[in-house]
Structure formats: C-alpha cells, structure tokens
Structure 1
Amino acid sequence: MNAHHQTFDVAVIGGGLVGKTAALALTQGGLRVALLAQPCVPPPADAAFDARVYALSASSQALLERLRVWQALDPSRLSPVYDMRVFGDAHAELHFSAFQASVPQLAWIAESSLIEQALDAALRFQPNLTWLDARAQALDVKASGATIALANGRTIETDLVVGADGAHSWVRAQIGSKVLRRDYQQTGVVANFKAERPHGETAYQWFSGGEIVALLPLPDGHVSLVWSARTEHADALLEHDPAKLAAEVERVTQGTLGALECVTPAKGFPLALQTVDRLIAPRVALVGDAAHLIHPLAGQGMNLGLRDVMSLAEVVAQKEAFRDLGDTVLLRRYERSRREDIRALMLATDGLQKLFAVPGPLARVVRNAGMAMIGAQPLVKRWLVSAALG
C-alpha cells in the first residue's frame, strides 16, 4: 500500500467527546476507522477540577457503558444528581426528584477531560482504528468513495465521512449545508468552587433578570458554575479576581450553599442557537455541534450530540449487505431519526431562554404561573424528567 494513501471504511473528522465517541462506536462495530484528531491534553496535576463539565443523561451513560468507557471512569470524580431545584422570579420554585421519577439519578456530572481521557485509552486498544494527527484540507466526493487530502501531503480514501468538527465545522462547509445562527448575546461563564454547605447531590438553577445561573454538584463538596450572562456582564465577571467572583456567585444564589471558594479560573464561551438545513450529503454525515447548537440552560447539548452518535451507529449496524456505507438512502435514515429530537430540544431551550429574557412585571407573572402549574402536575414533571434522561 502506498504510505501516502490509505483506505478506510469511515473517516471521523473532529476530536472532541462526540467525535471520539463516534470513532469508538463505529470501530467497535467492526469498521476500519480513521480519526483525524489529537489526544486529550490532561489538566494540570494541581487542578482541582476541569472547568468544563457535562450533565450526562441516562441515554449518554448507557452509550458509554456499551462502549466500555463508563466503567473506566474514576467513580470518585463523578457526582450523581438526585434532585434539581429551579428558582424563577420572586419565590417561584420547581423541584425535580429522581426518587419521585423512579429513576436512580437525574444525571451524572462529569468533567470533560475525564471522559475524553477514558475515550482516548479505549481508542488506543482498537486494532481497526488509526489516529491521524493531520488537518483535512480538501474533500472530493465521487460515486466510488470520498477522498480527503491532508495538510501533511497524504490522502485517504473512505466510504463515509463523519463531521464532528464543532460549531464552525469545516466538513459542513464542504457539503454546502446552510447554517442559521442566532447569537444569544450571552456568554457562558464556567468555574468551580468549594462550597461551605453540602450540596446534597442537588443541581440548582436560578433565572434572574434574563440571566441563568446554575450550580452543579461535584465530588468532595465542590460545585461547578455555569452562568449564562449577557456578554458585557460576562466580560466583567471574567475580569473579577477569584474572591470577587465567588462573592458575586454567593450573592446571586442567595447564599444557598454558604461561602464559596473559587478553585479553578473562570472561562467564557459564546452562546448561540444554530441549525443546519441538512445533516447529510452523499458520503457525509454531521454529528454534535457541527449539526446543532442549543442554549446550555438544560445541560443537554452534549447528550444531544451523543444521541446523534448512537443513531448513526445503529443505522450503520442495520445496513443491508448490498448497500454502501456512504449511500444517501442509508444516511437519510440517520437524518430522519434525529430530526424530531433535535427540533424538540431546540424549541424547548430556545423558548425557555426567550421566556425568561422578557423584562417586566407581566412576564414575571406569566413565568411564575407557568412554574406553579408545572410544579402542581406530577405527570408533567415526570414527562420533563424522562425527556431530559433521553
């Protein structure tokens, strides 16, 4: 074989959690997979926790278990969520309970680097997987296959290209999928804190003045902050020293967890709603942020991306013997399987963000009445929990 030319069944472009999970799922399905990505850079040894954490749903846990990644995670770095308390304007409150919903937990909170390092370890044991630390710079799709030219001068041939390369996806640009993006004019500010009072494995969320503040439980009495703040306010928060930021979080969360000590530097990332007109093209499928972006208020973005991976792997596994991996008929099955889930979650998160961003006393009354109505309906609450669990 020409050393400058290799052939694969699938090429996964993008090395975040979704891309690496896709590569692992497909190679465990017996396919020869090329992964254009780099291994995770572990956080500094003295870092208390990774600044970026995810709330993993039951469906995400099940996928990672099936891939034998979940079992490799250090349980002392995971925190279950048994309860969720949501506070609106004035004293409106919603309480979701794993016990009342008859589920083991509502979610698991896990650090991004913890999951990615476990994925890297699992990928290294896959004989059918090839890591390619090179950037794709040209994609040529023909009836016989897709050719990807790499920046290092090599080329690869593949039957299927999976675009998992994020919100500004290069793969998506190559297939001409149109993007509709709306900037929320907000920045997500993330940091971790040591809390004075025990969090009781409870996730807290406050809707206040058009902004959303969440404290997610971490092990050993720590919590992770996700503050969806107006961009100019977020810029000010990111300039605070750790003590001033902690004091501000204590104030806006009404001292619920007592004194807070900031243990990781705050980081910010812009928030936007992003949809694409199609998830597929001949020999190409998009997954994760390349396919959709939603507001983080429900903590479901990563779960949505992992459900993309689950659906794509299932469609590929059920492929008829005569059908090519890049067959548009096959890929349309994947696109159809994802349309409703993506649309429903986008409408829900965008609608909630809009509802709580509307100023004025009338809007406040409507929000409080809506929260009270949901709180009084156990069946509605159970449906919301089941939707969040995936």
Structure 2
Amino acid sequence: MTATNQTFDVAVIGGGLVGKSAALALTQGGLRVALLAQPCAPLPPGAVFDARVYAFSRSSQSLFERLRVWQAIDAARLTPVYDMRVFGDAAAELHFSAYQASVAQLAWIAESSVVERALDAALHFQPNLTWIDSRAQTFDVEPHAAVIGLANGRTIEADLAVGADGAHSWVRAQIGSSVERREYRQTGVVANFRAAKPHGETAHQWFREGEIIALLPLPDQHVSLVWSAETAHAEALVKLDPQQLAAEVERVTQQQVGALECVTPARGFPLALQTVDRLIAPRVALVGDAAHLIHPLAGQGVNLGLRDVSALVDVIARKESFRDLGDTVLLRRYERGRREDIRKLVAATDGLQRLFSFPGTIARAMRNTGMAFVGAQPLIKRWLVASALG
C-alpha cells in the first residue's frame, strides 16, 4: 500500500506490538491513520521459536480481543500460565495459582512475532490505514497539524502524532521530553529450550545472588529462558555453545523441567530503568518504551505499553466534538490517566530488583522472611495476582 493521501488524522511512528496495536485501534475507531513501520520479519531459516517471548496479562488479552486480533492468533502458539513458582535465594518459595485466585489463567505466553503477524494481517484489511515505508526525518508542529518530513522526500501531515518508536525514541527527542535513565548493569539473556519434563503450564522464577532466572512455558514441552544477569556474566552466557548453555540453565534451575535441549540460540539485551518527564506535547503522545522502560523481572513491560494504547484510544473516543485530536487539553487527560499506573509499576519492579540485589546475610534473611510472610497471606497473594492481571 502506498501513501496516496498525505493528510491523516493520526500518524503512528514506530511499529512493534504497541505501535501496531495503536494504529489498528485508531483506524478501527474510524480515523485515517498513517503507520510508519515495517511488517514483521520472518523467523530465521530453521528457527523453531522467536527469541522474543512475552507474558500477556488479562488487560492485554482484552485489548487484542477488542481489536479482533486475539481470535486470529494461532492457538497452538499460545500457552496459558496456570501456576507461578518463585524461589528466593534460600528455601523460601512463593506459589501463585490461577485456581486459588479464581481466574482463568495468570497470563498467556506467546512469541512476539506470532502476535505481530496477526496484527499485520488485521492492519492490511483496514481501508483507512496507510503503511509508509520510509523513515521520519523532520518534525514540525504547526497550528493546524504535525508536519512530518520523510526520508524519501515526501511530507505527511496529521492532527496527532503517536510516538511508538522505542526506548531511544526519535519522536520523544523532537518534543524535548527529558529522560531519566539508570542502567541496571545487567543484560537480559533469552533463549528457548525443549524440556525433558512437562512444564505443567507453570512459570518458574529464581532469585540468585542478584540475578533473576525465569523459565516460561511454551507449546510442545518447550520453555523460554529470561536470565537477568550481570553484564560480564551475560556476555559469557551468550558465548556458550547450545549444549553448554543448556547444562548451565539445568544447573541453576536444579533441573526443574529436566534435561534441556537449546532450540533457539541465546541473545542479550541491556536492562535499564527509564522514565520521561512528560508523555505529551502539542499534537504528540508517547506510548510503550518511548514513554517508559522497566526491568523485565515481572514480565510487565509490554502490558504497560498496551495499557497506554487502551488509555489513549479511550480518551480519543470520549473527545468532545469541538476538540482537535492534537488538543493539549485532550492529551493531558491521557497523560494524567497513565501516570499512576506507570509510577506504581516502576516502583514495584525497581524496588524488587534493588531488594534482591542487595548483598549480605541480613538482607538475604529479610528477603526470605518477607517471601514466607507473603506466601502465608492469601489476600495479599490475590491482590498481587489482580495487579499483575491489569
């Protein structure tokens, strides 16, 4: 599809799950949308699973259902999480159960590319959506529109520009939103394995000497590893051959799911906490990693971004007829509505990362005492599950 109409209601700059969800939701709402993004790239030849795997909460599932995307995702590539077991750095253990919390499941595990391809298919059926295969190069806010110059020499105008272009957002830089970033000095190592034992639709997580190891269930007795390791250690893990990596994961997880066979090579990505001083500017709204970046220990980063999309779409749907889509008064409603959710999740993930990184016998004893206390309090556990479900 080519850009034949250069004037739009909304221009979404950036793809991925969050940007494409925003574009789909807005165009389904009757708006003319330009999407500056690429279709999802195919998996490398011979790959069994995408290395990028997400735990989708109930709030994310609800959004995808509203967009009629969830129903189109290949059910064979979705895995429910019915139980979650969290192990401290001693004998302490927390068990979260969907049954005990009276919910259908704690989360759904799915590969990023599986969900993104379903979004791509839905987007290609939207008559009001225009894919633009060119990078944004200049950005100006005029009284009547946001004016975006493209690398191909063309120009588009939109009442509202949505920045969904990731942690190093170009859109965010254009509006001068300042960023506070703190490196965790950790790298997230991801890989996928076939397990000898059934995972039982259970997610496992271990806190070990400042590092966090998670095994998430995948279809056909596979599991996905997310190991938040100190950077030097992570670099060593990524360099291991598949057999060596499998043996090391077996060791640190005490063969919870038996012997492992690596089916997706390890890769790493740096971990950081990032917040911005404002989510909006005249005719601009930020969503997803452009607006916030959190530690992956709770698996909530993508869910937080998808809640941005839901909030922005809902604000626009309730817009007064006399307001322009880029009206700052309107966009402030979106910003105010998102601040508390973002603040709480930043505090929770950063606080847990700090708590389990603090060295010493006393700190270890306090952590494990706290885990034991929470484990004995059904009401607290139900509240934690409800918070994670969004």
Give the SS at the match of 1:323. Answer: coil
Equivalence for 2:135? 135
Equivalence for 2:145? 145
Equivalence for 2:368? 368
Equivalence for 1:214? 214
Equivalence for 1:322? 322
* Deviation string, structure 1 residues 105-136 (Cα, Å, up to 9, x no partner): 00000000000000000000000000001000
Equivalence for 2:36? 36
- Offset at residue 42 of structure 1 (A): 1.5
**Mapped partners of 2:98, 2:287: distance in 1:** 29
**Mapped partners of 1:31, 1:197: distance in 2:** 49
TM-score by length of 1: 0.99
1:387 paired to 2:381: no
- Offset at residue 4 of structure 1 (A): 7.9
Structure 2 gaps of 5+ residues are none
1:309 paired to 2:284: no
Structure 1 gaps of 5+ residues are none
1:69 paired to 2:69: yes
Checking the alignment, whether the CA contact within 8 Å between 1:188 and 1:268 is kept in structure 2 is: yes
**Mapped partners of 2:72, 2:270: distance in 1:** 32
Structure 1 residue identity aligned to 2:387: A
1:278 paired to 2:281: no
* Deviation string, structure 1 residues 170-191 (Cα, Å, up to 9, x no partner): 0000000000000000000000
Equivalence for 1:162? 162
* Deviation string, structure 1 residues 246-282 (Cα, Å, up to 9, x no partner): 0000000011111000001111000000000000000
Equivalence for 1:261? 261
* Deviation string, structure 1 residues 183-236 (Cα, Å, up to 9, x no partner): 000000000000011100000000001000000000100000000000000000
Correspondence list, 1:179-194, <5 A = 179-194=179-194
Structure 2 residue identity aligned to 1:6: Q
1:87 paired to 2:75: no
- Offset at residue 90 of structure 1 (A): 1.1
Give the SS at the match of 1:263. Answer: strand
Checking the alignment, whether the CA contact within 8 Å between 1:5 and 1:154 is kept in structure 2 is: no
- Offset at residue 56 of structure 1 (A): 0.1
Structure 2 residue identity aligned to 1:388: A
Structure 2 residue identity aligned to 1:287: V
Structure 1 residue identity aligned to 2:300: Q
**Mapped partners of 1:158, 1:257: distance in 2:** 51
**Mapped partners of 1:5, 1:221: distance in 2:** 48
Structure 1 residue identity aligned to 2:115: I
RMSD over aligned Cα, in angstroms? 0.8
- Offset at residue 46 of structure 1 (A): 2.7
Structure 2 residue identity aligned to 1:158: A
Give the SS at the match of 2:100. Answer: coil
TM-score by length of 2: 0.99
**Mapped partners of 2:337, 2:119: distance in 1:** 25
**Mapped partners of 1:45, 1:272: distance in 2:** 31
Checking the alignment, whether the CA contact within 8 Å between 1:42 and 1:117 is kept in structure 2 is: no
**Mapped partners of 2:113, 2:361: distance in 1:** 43
**Mapped partners of 2:176, 2:185: distance in 1:** 26
**Mapped partners of 2:263, 2:59: distance in 1:** 31
Structure 2 residue identity aligned to 1:389: L
Give the SS at the match of 1:122. Answer: helix
Give the SS at the match of 2:31. Answer: coil
**Mapped partners of 2:170, 2:83: distance in 1:** 39
**Mapped partners of 2:4, 2:118: distance in 1:** 30
Equivalence for 2:105? 105
- Offset at residue 286 of structure 1 (A): 0.1
Structure 2 residue identity aligned to 1:121: A
**Mapped partners of 2:109, 2:276: distance in 1:** 29
Structure 1 residue identity aligned to 2:326: G
Equivalence for 2:249? 249
- Offset at residue 45 of structure 1 (A): 5.2
Structure 2 residue identity aligned to 1:109: I
Give the SS at the match of 2:264. Answer: coil
**Mapped partners of 1:309, 1:376: distance in 2:** 36
- Offset at residue 331 of structure 1 (A): 0.2
Equivalence for 1:356? 356
**Mapped partners of 1:388, 1:176: distance in 2:** 32
- Offset at residue 89 of structure 1 (A): 1.4
Structure 2 residue identity aligned to 1:138: T
Structure 2 residue identity aligned to 1:368: N
**Mapped partners of 1:229, 1:173: distance in 2:** 30
Checking the alignment, whether the CA contact within 8 Å between 1:4 and 1:154 is kept in structure 2 is: no
**Mapped partners of 1:129, 1:316: distance in 2:** 17
Q: Which runs of 4+ in 1 moved over 2 A?
A: none
Equivalence for 1:335? 335
**Mapped partners of 1:308, 1:189: distance in 2:** 26
- Offset at residue 44 of structure 1 (A): 3.2
Q: Name the % identity.
A: 78
How many residues are paired up?
A: 388
* Deviation string, structure 1 residues 69-97 (Cα, Å, up to 9, x no partner): 00000101110000000000111000000
**Mapped partners of 1:306, 1:152: distance in 2:** 30
